[in-house]
Amino acid sequence: MSTPEPRPISRRSILRGAAIAGAGAAMAPLITLASATSAAAATSGNYTIRFDQPRRQTILGLGFEIQSDSIGSNNNGLPDSFSSVPYDLTPGERDRFYQQMLKGGRADRGFRYCRLGLGLYFRGTDPTGKHLQNRYPGQAELLADMISRSGIEGVAAEYWSPPPGFKSNNSFVAGKLASFTPAFLDELGDAMVGDLDYLTARGVPISMWGLQNEPSGIAAYSTCQYTPAEYVQTFKAVAPKIKAKYPNALIHSNSQGGWMDSLGQATVADPQALAAVDAWTFHRVGTQSTEQIPAGRYTAGALGKPVFNNEFEYLDNQTSDARTLNTAQSIMNWMTFQDAPTWFWLHALKPTTNVEADGYALGYWRPPTDTDFSHHPNIAPGHWDFIPRNWNAIAGFVQFMPWNSVRYHVDEPLLRYQLSPQWGYQDLPSPSQRIMAWKTPEGKPVFAITNSSSTPYTFTVDTQTAATFRGLRYGPSTNNLFISNKTGPQLTITVPPLSIEFWIRTP
């Protein structure tokens, strides 16, 4: 059995793993299949798409993050100068960015959500230091233009840090809230509503809201630390104010360990805080996609609320062929086994000046100030280009899984795995060959299949329809490659190693 390469080890990943293991380990085993033993991997299998059974979840659409202000290379600090996208792009390159990436080549719309880091990538303040605003002229207005022209629904607005006027150290970086008295939190809540009002007044719609990115984390960029009690106290003071003003915004918690870590468990234990949670968000950054197998691992304690991963990237500043498949299978496994309604990659574009770009972005852009053409010589100032190993993992989902597609179950072969002496044996699908099926809002059947192993694998798929399906292949260096047309109900498809395929009913 071939599995995705291990997650890189770093201080940031260790902190995340420890936070999630703390409260969640006893409730949901975080055991990767990489350490499991099974029989020899099969070279073929039979699959049945159960369009005859009730639909599973509605898949709302995918999300990405936008770097609309500067961050130091390797995430080291907050430069006074600004470099941002789409600001740095020429008009023609903005058009191409919106059409080819954010729309995924579709005529209507592609990505649904744009994650906006408040206090990080949107960090201008008023003279009091308590209210966010543009840090350079037209920042919010340009984001609004990008959203409008790309067909994006709105931003997932989330604080990396409250404004400095509310911090113990009067800084975006490090520190805590200056107080937790009711009067202070009431003022903070009003100010956070005001930050959203500032954005919406300039044409930036709000789709989601989060109190704090990684609330137990520390870094050289914008952060704010909370204990579990402090997080719950602040969340239940602020979240109802957000919901009252923006009732359609999805409020999520806690952008790190969801319900599983110590902050999440404190939220679950407080009825008032729990009532304000619309969904649980996790950061399983760069982890093996096998983490989402088996079903229920991330939903067991969710109390019926949706769960999803709202940040995915690779923290060692690298990408690889294996990671192309791991990223695609992360999307599929979150949706197939955890019923996730969405999934977020970290950045659309990162600048050529930042060493973390390879592991973090779907593409590079060259700021006008970058005159070092010893790296990325093909990218002119104000221009951008794809990172194929990252983009090709996601592109087919953006193009062929439109907003509000609905997923259907697939019967697939099971192998017996010995996970550990504690958890014993389980019959599970192959982690190397994955399948996911859905119908578009217009009722068109589509399915995706992947093969992350080093040998070909043959899928025999019963589509339960005599219709013809068109096949397109993606991979580390392959994008939208036509394979063939096959007519159902049974399709026999041999997928090469390290390949992602989409089969779409025609017409």
Q: What is the pLDDT of residue 426?
A: 82
Distance of CA 165 to the CA centre of its chain: 30
Q: What is the pLDDT of residue 13?
A: 38
Is residue 337 within 8 Å of 295, Cβ to Cβ?
A: yes
Q: What is the pLDDT of residue 294?
A: 84
Amino acid symbol at 385: D
d(CA 425, CA 34): 14
Q: Measuring CA to CA, which residue among 70, 136, 13 is closest to residue 347?
A: 70
CATH number of 37-55+406-506, picked from 3.30.365.10, 3.40.50.300, 1.10.10.10, 2.60.40.1180:
2.60.40.1180
d(CA 102, CA 65): 11
Structure tokens at 358: 């390879």
d(CA 191, CA 184): 11
Supply φ then ψ for residue 312, to 5 degrees. -140, 130
Q: Measuring CA to CA, which residue among 178, 142, 175, 152 is closest to residue 64?
A: 152
Q: Which residue has the tokens 């999300």?
A: 63
Whether CATH 3.40.1440.10 fits 61-400 = no
Q: Measuring CA to CA, which residue among 177, 192, 178, 183 is closest to residue 238?
A: 192
Residue ranges, CATH 2.60.40.1180, the chain: 37-55+406-506
Distance of CA 200 to the CA centre of its chain: 23
pLDDT tens for the 507 residues of the chain, in order: 333 332 332 334 333 443 433 333 334 444 456 555 555 578 999 999 999 999 999 999 999 999 999 999 999 999 999 999 999 999 999 999 999 999 999 999 999 999 999 999 999 999 999 999 999 999 999 999 999 999 999 999 999 999 999 999 999 999 999 999 999 999 999 999 999 999 999 999 999 999 999 999 889 999 999 999 999 999 999 999 999 999 999 999 999 999 999 999 999 999 999 999 999 999 999 999 999 998 889 999 999 999 999 999 999 999 999 999 999 999 999 999 999 999 999 999 999 999 999 999 999 999 999 999 999 999 999 999 999 999 999 999 999 999 999 999 999 999 887 766 666 788 899 999 999 999 999 999 999 999 999 999 999 999 999 999 999 999 999 999 999 999 999 999 999 999 999 999 998
Supply φ then ψ for residue 29, to 5 degrees. -65, 120
Q: Dihedral through CA 388, CA 391, CA 394, CA 400, nearest 10?
A: -90
Distance of CA 296 to the CA centre of its chain: 19
Is residue 116 within 8 Å of 143, Cβ to Cβ?
A: yes
Identify the bridge partners of residue 206 per DSSP, sorted by sequence position.
155
pTM for the full predicted model: 0.94
Question: By CB neighbour count within 10 A (0-12 exposed, 13-18 middle, 19+ buried), where does 226 fall?
Answer: buried
d(CA 376, CA 402): 32
Query: 133-157 burial, b for 16+ CB within 10 Å, e for fewer?
Result: bbbeeebbebbbbbbebbbbbbbbb
Is residue 19 within 8 Å of 262, Cβ to Cβ?
A: yes
Question: By CB neighbour count within 10 A (0-12 exposed, 13-18 middle, 19+ buried), where does 58 fall?
Answer: middle
Concatenated DSSP letters for 17-73? HHHHHHHHTTTS----GGG-B-SPPPSEEEEEE-TTS----EE---EEE---S---G
Residue ranges, CATH 3.20.20.80, the chain: 61-400
